[in-house]
Amino acid sequence: MNISPLKAYLRPNGSWGLRNHVLVLPLHSALSSSARAIEEASQGAVAITHDWSGEIDADLERIISTLAGFASNPNNFATIFLTLDSPNERRIIERAESLGLPNVVHLSLADAGSMHKLVDVGILEADQLLTRALLQERIPAPWSAIVLGLECGGSDALSGITANPALGVASDMLVDLGATSILGETTEILGAEHLLAARAITPEVGVEIVNTVLRYESSINYEGIDLRGAQPSRGNIEGGLSTLEEKSLGAAKKAGNAVFTGVLEYAEVPSAHGLFFMDTPGHDIEQLTGFAAGHVNIVVFTSGRGTPTGSATMPVIKVATNTPMATSLKDLIDLNAGTIADGIESLSEVGNRIFNEIVAVANGKETKAERGGHHEFSLSRLYN
């Protein structure tokens, strides 16, 4: 197979961006509308909104790690922080800078004097940064530049037969070339954790995979919820799944057959290349947020029922598990893996097609989620 060369944006800390975004990030929920206004009036900035109001509780460190990691994702050329200038907001900015964010603009409401002036200054700063970003050129990059996130949502009876194992083929190819691939969704591997642990690079990593799942299940059981008895979800059942184990075995196939190098906490940046497992919720948007905060720079999202979820920082490639859904949601789906079930293509052929799409998108091709302006974001909370 002929593989197109990879080109990306080199960051000062040695990481690689597959996009060159100027991100507008409010550090208080009261400034979310200002961030949206700057995005809409600028020449191409992207923005997120959230509901954190600066409260100091048991989730504070998780929030700081998430916002700092998201801000410093290598796909961001620069981040404009909108703040009320509190100590914890300054901690987030300092953490983002320590993670390698090269271009930082800090705009406080107090300095601006009003919400209206804050937006005006933000638009000016965003357009100046966008002009600088356009001057930076992609250069030849190693395959280690790719940090791939493996996501699925709205699973159906074909997920574990078509799109997920095909994505596993593509993931294995990238890992073999030196890239990093990250599997998430702790809830999605319940009942299959022992199979992933058997592929760990060391016994210690295998124990860590199992313990991560046990930790999550124990926290849910403590609340009196029988997670295994409550799954799969109604949507999964309507899609043709009958048990949690059936769902988990299919979801785990996204990770192919590579060896697991390590386990990451939510929003943690991997320190090596290879295949990792990240402890994330099963909620699609929270998972994608954790991936972005962990410096994933491209995502493949398989779906059996259609999920209009994207990211302000990461290009998200949507792969359908079945042909009827792919043809009915053409504005959301980038690739159709239902051709495997249709008998038109083999698993290997679709896996190669997904790999080629990853390379094309990494080199700048827009995904359907990017064209649709899907900038979903959600902070993951443990203690509310």
Contact 241, 155 (CB under 8 A): yes
Can you name the residues that pair with 9 across neighbouring β-strands? 17
Cα–Cα distance for residue pair 179/275, rounded to 1 Å: 9
pLDDT at site 233: 53
- Stretches in the chain below the pLDDT threshold 70: 1, 220-248, 384
- pTM exceeds cut of 0.85: yes
User: pLDDT digit string (tens) for 118-167?
Assistant: 999 999 999 999 999 999 999 999 999 999 999 998 778 898 999 999 99
Name every residue whose Cβ is closer than 8 Å to that of residue 291 and which is 6 or more positions away in sequence.
149, 151, 182, 184, 278, 280, 299, 311, 314
pLDDT at site 247: 56
Cα–Cα distance for residue pair 255/185, rounded to 1 Å: 12
Hey, what amino acid is at 94? Answer: E
The pair of three-digit structure tokens given for residue 351, joined into one six-digit string:
């896996």
Cis peptide bond upstream of 232, omega within 30: yes
pLDDT at site 145: 98
Contact 368, 333 (CB under 8 A): yes
| Phi, psi values for residue 345, rounded to 5° | -130, 160
pLDDT at site 241: 47
The pair of three-digit structure tokens given for residue 183, joined into one six-digit string:
């599997």
User: pLDDT digit string (tens) for 24-60?
Assistant: 999 999 999 999 999 999 999 999 999 999 999 999 9
DSSP string, 193-258: HHHHHTTBSSHHHHHHHHHHHHHHHHHHHHTT--HHHH-S-HHHHHTT---HHHHHHHHHGGGTTP
